[in-house]
Amino acid sequence: MPRLALSPEFLHGLDALPRPVRREALLAVRRFLLNASTAPHPERVRNCRDPRVATLRLADRHRGVVVRQDDVYWLLTVLPDAEAWSYAQRHRFGVNTAVGIVEVWDAEALERIEPALRRASRSGGRPVFEDFCDTDLLNIGVDARLLPLLRMMTSEAHLAAVEPLLPRSQFAPLSALARGGSLAAAWRELDACRCRAADEVDPEDLLTALRRSPDRAAFAADAAELERLVAQPHWCTFLYPPQHTYANWPAYDEPVLITGGAGTGKTVIALHRAALLARAATGPVLLVTFSQGLATELSARLDTMVGDELVRKRVEVGNVDRIAHRIVAEAEGRAPALVSSDDLAGLWQEAAAGRFGKHSGRRFGSAFLLREWEQVILAQDLRTLEEYQAAARPGRSVPLDAGARTLVWDAVQHVIGRLRETGRRTLLQLASEAAGLLGRAVGDLLGDREPGREPYRHIVVDEAQDLHPAQWRLLRAAVPAAPNDLFILGDPHQRMFDTRVALADVGIPVRRFHLKLSYRLPPEILSWGVRLRGGGPADGLVAGNAGLYGYRGLGHGPRPMVREYVTPAAEIAGLVSTVAEWLREGVPTAEIAVAARTADLVRTARTALREAGITVKVALLHGMKGLEFRRVAVIGVADGIVPAPDALTPAAEDPTARAHDLQRERGLLYVACTRAGELLYVSYSGRASPFLPV
Ligand SMILES: Nc1ncnc2c1ncn2[C@@H]1O[C@H](COP(=O)(O)OP(=O)(O)OP(=O)(O)O)[C@@H](O)[C@H]1O
């Protein structure tokens, strides 16, 4: 049985130590793990609230705090001597009686606020938990010692005041009740705090509770495991309960879709699921996302997480375009040539200007024709005019009669023909062809029932909201329909492209789960972002997507700084002095990013920062997707820049398309703003963008 379990706080504490102290502490932990003769001894602490607590002298004037049961030690933190003793005395360590997970709480701080609460309760008001008897509260795992304090509370604010002092498994169900929720709602909150169900809970059995709490304790069986735990980023080891549940579920009988707002840990789940499937060695795994930049990032993170080379090799990480390209190249024996976006735009203009773009004296613009091709014809894989005539056109508000459809069809055929003449294709055409190639297995022709050419056994998709139906069809064709085939993560509110798709329509009926807690965003940035995005439902992926209701952040931070400047030059000067100040405050360069809607603004900001000797990341709003930084400055959030006028379809041409364009522009700004885990700065000169919350 492993002798030592580490808590994430211990690893945080270790990282915060000066290097020589850290090294010494780590060696001491190693000696303790190996039970070496020179290992530190557990020393009792006087006046502790829990007799199982002890300290280990880990380095000069630094101690670890451990809770012990039999021969197993849970290492909770490492601190300077006096702070370690105080920590050991102040805290209480227990097991939640309802769900059997470990809990740590600052009992002394709770005792200190008791007199103030008592005074507040004397001034009247309806007790918050009046409708619930003690047994009700105990049944949802509330610690009996908390009851007197809870009975004094007469407003939700009283409970909010003790949030930082309570374990989440105590606070979350109580908070549901305080908001007027039922006991069932409180149970749901509690359920979300555990990684796995407990059969029977023994509150004295700390070891079993530790095993049930993989987000709170990681066991190190030997020195190599200890090294790995210490070296890896914490998301590699400690998964929050919903992450743990979804990533480690043994088998999903049908495709799974997990949605969740910015920072709810979707990418971390994707990485863990891919690693789990690879360890199971049931067949090749594809971890796929929509851009090459994000794929490279995912690949690097998987390298960090999976030490075993054999396991790592079972996961291919890529983006859908590249995979489509490769499949077509393999089938045709050479790399397909792609048309540039400028050349493609020229072809659509040609079509719009010619007879094809005209109907009853009305002209269809090139943008209209392109959208019709991508969002109706390619999206539904329509192969003939008859199919197109009969097709629904969801999301397209300009009605087309049969004559108009014939003209649009001719225009599309004209462009396809011109592309064919020059041997070029678009990426979406490649996706469509690749899906066809995979589906057209040799076996099918022979009436063979065996799957034909699916190259993967499992596919994990991150940032799913931006994939086009043709890309989904490719992914569907690339994996046989079987348990654990498709595991999909996305956030329709972060969509950056106009690719509305109902997964069921592309042969992927899904079982859906939803994440609500953001581990990146403090509530101040999150609630501002939600107002910016508009909290309503976002369509895409599945019907009836929830709005952002219930989406919450952890901890607290400063409110976003919104700065108005008189001129663009003053705005850039303001940016430079803000970023310089962040650097002076000690924020590392790599933890700062600047984003803007236009390439011009990006260039101007980059040059001004460089002239001030500052080299932080400066990117377009599009380029911020999937990334995160401690501090983010989004500049040029002015009327006339955001939304970008060129990116909006004129309302007279297609009002629905315009509404979609506006949503997409909003989404872009929302994505950039939600990359900031600590501080968000937003600036504009002139009039503010209409998207900015007032
Ligand atoms: N188990 C974990 N332990 C530590 N940190 C975590 C864990 N899970 C997520 N995080 C952190 O929370 C943040 C958000 O995680 P992640 O990038 O997976 O979220 P996301 O839902 O994919 O975000 P987005 O949709 O905004 O790209 C990151 O800083 C990540 O490191």
Residue to probe by mutation, ligand 1, list 9, 168, 246, 268, most atoms within 8 Å of CB: 268
- Out of 367, 398, 421, pick the residue that ends a domain: 421
Per-residue pLDDT averaged across 229-250, rounded?
94
Which range of residues forms the domain containing residue 377? 340-421
pLDDT confidence of residue 441: 52
Atom of ligand 1 nearest to the CA of 675: 26
For ligand 1, atom 29, name the residue with the nearest CA: 520
CA angle 495, 590, 465 (to 5 degrees): 10
Rounded Cα distance, 606 and 587, in Å: 18
520: CA distance to ligand 1 center in Å? 6
Q: Which of 461, 414, 191 is nearest to 316 (CA)?
A: 461
Q: Which of 129, 144, 40, 47 is nearest to 95 (CA)?
A: 144
For ligand 1, atom 23, name the residue with the nearest CA: 263
Rounded Cα distance, 83 and 405, in Å: 75
Whether 202 maps to a domain, the answer reads no
Atom of ligand 1 nearest to the CA of 240: 1
Whether 315 maps to a domain, the answer reads yes
Per-residue pLDDT averaged across 167-175, rounded?
94
Percent of the chain with pLDDT over 90: 67
146: CA distance to ligand 1 center in Å? 32
627: CA distance to ligand 1 center in Å? 10
Rounded Cα distance, 669 and 637, in Å: 9
- Listed in order, strand segments (DSSP E) in 328-444 are 337-338, 358-359, 362-363, 424-425
Burial 149-176 (b: 16+ CB within 10 A, else e): bbbbbbeeebbeebbebbbbbbbbbbbb
pLDDT over 50 at 226, yes or no: yes
Quick: pLDDT tens for 112-166. Answer: 999 988 888 887 788 999 999 999 999 999 999 999 999 999 988 899 889 889 9
pLDDT confidence of residue 218: 95
Total number of residues shown for the chain = 694
For ligand 1, atom 9, name the residue with the nearest CA: 265
Average pLDDT, the chain: 89
Residue to probe by mutation, ligand 1, list 271, 297, 461, 628, most atoms within 8 Å of CB: 628
pLDDT over 80 at 549, yes or no: no
Quick: pLDDT tens for 621-634. Answer: 999 988 899 999 99
Atom of ligand 1 nearest to the CA of 491: 25
Among 56-70, 207-221, 473-487, 532-546, the range scoring the smallest mean pLDDT is 532-546
296: CA distance to ligand 1 center in Å? 17
Per-residue pLDDT averaged across 399-406, rounded?
87
Residue to probe by mutation, ligand 1, list 195, 235, 302, 305, most atoms within 8 Å of CB: 235
State whether 112 and 20 are in the same domain.
no
State whether 324 and 446 are in the same domain.
yes
Atom of ligand 1 nearest to the CA of 271: 18
pLDDT confidence of residue 338: 94
Binding residues: 260-267
**Which residues are CB-neighbours of 613 under 8 A, at least 6 positions away?**
none
Q: Which of 564, 592, 578 is nearest to 678 (CA)?
A: 592
Quick: pLDDT tens for 569-613. Answer: 999 999 999 999 999 999 999 999 999 999 999 999 999 999 999
State whether 391 and 513 are in the same domain.
no
| Beta bridge partners of residue 77, listed in sequence order | 65
- Out of 370, 391, 421, pick the residue that ends a domain: 421
Helix, strand, or coil (residue 77): strand
Quick: pLDDT tens for 272-298. Answer: 999 999 999 999 999 999 888 899 999
Residue type, 622: H
Quick: pLDDT tens for 352-390. Answer: 887 766 666 666 788 888 888 988 999 888 999 999 999
Binding residues for ATP: 260-267
pLDDT over 50 at 487, yes or no: yes
State whether 404 and 483 are in the same domain.
no
pLDDT confidence of residue 449: 43
Which residue bears the tokens 């002095």? 577
For ligand 1, atom 5, name the residue with the nearest CA: 235
Whether 531 maps to a domain, the answer reads no
State whether 212 and 87 are in the same domain.
yes
Over 476-545, what HEC string results?
HHCCCCCCCCEEEEECHHHCCCCCCCEHHHHCCCCEEEEECEECCCCHHHHHHHHHHHCCCCCCCECCCC
Whether 291 maps to a domain, the answer reads yes
616: CA distance to ligand 1 center in Å? 22
For ligand 1, atom 26, name the residue with the nearest CA: 262
For ligand 1, atom 6, name the residue with the nearest CA: 235
Quick: pLDDT tens for 32-68. Answer: 999 888 999 999 999 999 889 999 999 999 999 999 9
pLDDT confidence of residue 351: 85
Radius of gyration of the chain (CA): 29
State whether 571 and 679 are in the same domain.
yes
Atom of ligand 1 nearest to the CA of 238: 1
- Listed in order, strand segments (DSSP E) in 70-112 are 72-80, 91-95, 102-106
543: CA distance to ligand 1 center in Å? 26
278: CA distance to ligand 1 center in Å? 21
272: CA distance to ligand 1 center in Å? 12
Joined tokens for residue 189: 């909150």
Instruction: Provide the sign of the torsion angle of the four alpha carbons 24, 216, 148, 98, taken in this order.
Output: negative
- Out of 166, 193, 220, pick the residue that ends a domain: 193
Joined tokens for residue 328: 């077509």
- Domain count of the fold of the chain: 5
- How many CB atoms are located within 10 Å of the residue 544 CB? 7
Strand bridging mode 358-359 / 337-338? unpaired
Among 163-167, 440-444, 465-469, the range scoring the smallest mean pLDDT is 440-444
For ligand 1, atom 11, name the residue with the nearest CA: 519
- How many CB atoms are located within 10 Å of the residue 347 CB? 22
Q: Which of 436, 466, 440 is nearest to 451 (CA)?
A: 440
Whether 356 maps to a domain, the answer reads yes
Say if CB 115 and CB 62 are below 8 A apart: no
Residue to probe by mutation, ligand 1, list 267, 460, 621, most atoms within 8 Å of CB: 267
Percent of the chain with pLDDT over 70: 93
pLDDT over 90 at 187, yes or no: yes
- How many CB atoms are located within 10 Å of the residue 331 CB? 15
Q: Which of 544, 19, 60 is nearest to 257 (CA)?
A: 544
Atom of ligand 1 nearest to the CA of 215: 1
- How many CB atoms are located within 10 Å of the residue 550 CB? 10
pLDDT over 80 at 440, yes or no: no
What is the domain-level CATH number for residue 217? 3.30.2310.20
Per-residue pLDDT averaged across 303-310, rounded?
94
State whether 609 and 635 are in the same domain.
yes
For ligand 1, atom 25, name the residue with the nearest CA: 262
State whether 441 and 314 are in the same domain.
yes
Strand bridging mode 102-106 / 91-95? antiparallel
pLDDT over 60 at 209, yes or no: yes
For ligand 1, atom 28, name the residue with the nearest CA: 520
What is the domain-level CATH number for residue 579? 3.40.50.300
Q: Given pLDDT bands bounded at 50, 70 and 90, which one contains residue 271?
A: very high
Q: ω before 643 within 30° of 0 (cis)?
A: yes
Per-residue pLDDT averaged across 394-407, rounded?
83
State whether 115 and 176 are in the same domain.
yes
Helix (H) or strand (E) holding 447: none
Whether 532 maps to a domain, the answer reads no
pLDDT confidence of residue 177: 95
pLDDT confidence of residue 444: 43
For ligand 1, atom 16, name the residue with the nearest CA: 265
Query: CA of 350: how far to CAs of 364, 367, 410, 650, in Å?
Result: 12, 12, 12, 20
Whether 512 maps to a domain, the answer reads yes
pLDDT confidence of residue 42: 93
305: CA distance to ligand 1 center in Å? 14
Say if CB 605 and CB 566 are below 8 A apart: no
State whether 353 and 321 are in the same domain.
no
For ligand 1, atom 31, name the residue with the nearest CA: 235
189: CA distance to ligand 1 center in Å? 20
pLDDT confidence of residue 580: 97
Among 219-233, 341-355, 472-486, the range scoring the smallest mean pLDDT is 341-355
Helix axis angle for 568-584 and 599-611, nearest 10°, is: 50
Joined tokens for residue 71: 């021969």
pLDDT over 90 at 452, yes or no: no
Q: Given pLDDT bands bounded at 50, 70 and 90, which one contains residue 199?
A: confident
State whether 461 and 574 are in the same domain.
no
What is the 8-class DSSP label of residue 335? P
pLDDT over 70 at 80, yes or no: yes
Q: Which of 509, 435, 496, 504 is nearest to 463 (CA)?
A: 496
pLDDT confidence of residue 539: 59
Backbone angles phi, psi at 212, to 5 degrees: -85, 0
Residue to probe by mutation, ligand 1, list 15, 238, 264, 520, most atoms within 8 Å of CB: 520
236: CA distance to ligand 1 center in Å? 11
pLDDT confidence of residue 466: 87
Rounded Cα distance, 331 and 314, in Å: 23
365: CA distance to ligand 1 center in Å? 42
Whether 537 maps to a domain, the answer reads no
State whether 73 and 212 are in the same domain.
yes
410: CA distance to ligand 1 center in Å? 47
Backbone angles phi, psi at 257, to 5 degrees: -120, 125
| Beta bridge partners of residue 337, listed in sequence order | 424
Pocket of ligand 1 from Cβ distances under 6 Å:
234-235, 238-240, 243, 260, 262-268, 491, 494, 519-520, 626, 628, 674
